[in-house]
Amino acid sequence: MIQIAIIGLGEIGTSLGLALKYQKDEIYRVGMDVHKYATDNASEKGAVDRVSRNLLDAVKEADIVFLAIPAHEVEDTLELIGHELKKDAAVLDTCPTKSAAINWAKKSMTQPDHFLAIYPSINPAYLSEPSNEFHSAHEDLFQSGTLYLAPSADTEPAVVKLASDLGTLIGAHSAFIDPAELDGLLAAAYDLPLLLSNALMSTLLNQNSWEDCRKLAVKEFVQETDFCAFPYTGKEFTEILSENRENTLRILNDFIVNLKTYRDAIQNRDRAALSSLYEKAEKGREKWLKDYEEGAWRKEKDQKLNVPTAGEMMGQMFLGGLGRKKKE
């Protein structure tokens, strides 16, 4: 029996537990979250076999520790559990600050080579669904998505194999990427929307007209400022932008340059330019969504996943990789 500790029972953590619920004969799921309503929800949905309100209790017997917690909590969490883990336990972390997380693991873990930075790209069916804590958790959230694996030069190969096999088990395709490169991609796809949402809200709050503007219930404004709302926090906002500073500044500068193009077109009453800018963005977004749904970059439709049983997979993971180290 393989034991996995899922730390953080929001959308990602709860979805992982749900995706593994059919493997109960081979995988024992322990869930932990600081919020009781999150552990209650995970238990009620069948996403975990046991809940724990104590971090050390949750991880002490775990073969795999899956961290699905906010970025600003990762460093402290690794410091607490780093010397308390079972020998050869693997730690998989999903936070959007990869290089920083790897450095925290090197500083805090007895076996930092058993830490792997990962990032799940989700099922295209749920792309338009707003993330809302555990309310947007689904057992097929990772189905047909991509699990990005970002090992450092020191990462134990068996841990990488374990994560890839776990991805297959939950229906995801695995892709290998350098941590610094993944940080750059996340700066564009994650950090910039987070920053712009906050900046938009700040801009309107500073307007003299805000007292009147606030009376307008405009859906577009609410949607565009969603990143200012729970479950995001000021601490997470600060951690993400600070730890991925260079990449965030680079993409922010590119955005400012592009925004100036829009400003100039408006200022010059250049309707043709504005129309062209809109159409280019609209068609680009439409193509991106189509490509994502079809898995165009990996020709997903032409591939058939050969998925072993959970017992076979977990046996290969531990008896063929990490487990061999224990016997030696």
Domain layout of the chain by residue ranges: 2-177+306-327, 181-296
To the question of domain 181-296 being in CATH 1.10.3660.10, the answer is yes
| CB atoms near residue 279 (< 10 Å) | 10
Residue 302 is predicted with a pLDDT of 41
Residue 314 is predicted with a pLDDT of 58
pLDDT tens sequence across 264-280 = 999 999 999 999 999 99
| Integer Cα distance of 34 and 233 in angstroms | 15
Cα–Cα distance for residue pair 119/71, rounded to 1 Å: 13
- What's the pLDDT at 95? 95
Conformation bin of residue 327: beta by default, left when phi > 0, alpha when psi is -120 to 50: alpha
Whether residue 26 contacts residue 314, with contact meaning beta carbons closer than 8 Å, is answered with yes
pLDDT of residue 305: 46
pLDDT of residue 326: 42
Q: What is the pLDDT of residue 232?
A: 74
Q: Give the burial string for 120-155 (b: 16+ CB within 10 Å, else e).
A: bbbbbebeeeebebbebbbbbbbbbbbbbbbbbeeb
Q: pLDDT tens digits for the chain (328 residues)? A: 899 999 999 999 999 999 999 888 899 999 999 999 999 999 999 999 999 989 999 999 999 999 999 999 999 999 999 999 999 999 999 999 999 999 999 999 999 999 999 999 999 999 888 777 777 899 999 998 999 999 999 999 999 999 999 999 999 999 999 999 999 999 999 999 999 999 999 999 999 999 999 888 788 888 888 888 766 788 889 999 999 999 999 999 999 999 999 999 999 999 999 999 999 999 999 999 998 888 877 664 444 445 555 565 555 555 445 554 443 4
On whether the CB atoms of residues 186 and 243 are closer than 8 A, the answer is: no
pLDDT at 316: 58
* Closest of 301, 307, 2, 273 to residue 170, by C-alpha: 307
Tokens matching residue 266: 């408006």
Say yes or no: domain 2-177+306-327 is CATH 3.40.50.300. Answer: no
Can you state the angle between helices 36-45 and 11-19, rounded to 10 degrees?
20
Residue 24: predicted pLDDT: 82
Query: For the packed helices 271-294 and 245-267, what is the interaxial angle rounded to 10 degrees?
Result: 140
The pTM of this model reads 0.88
> From the CB of residue 97, how many other CB atoms can be counted at a distance below 10 Å?
28
The residue length of the chain stands at: 328
pLDDT tens for each residue of 198-231: 999 999 999 999 999 988 878 888 888 888 876 6
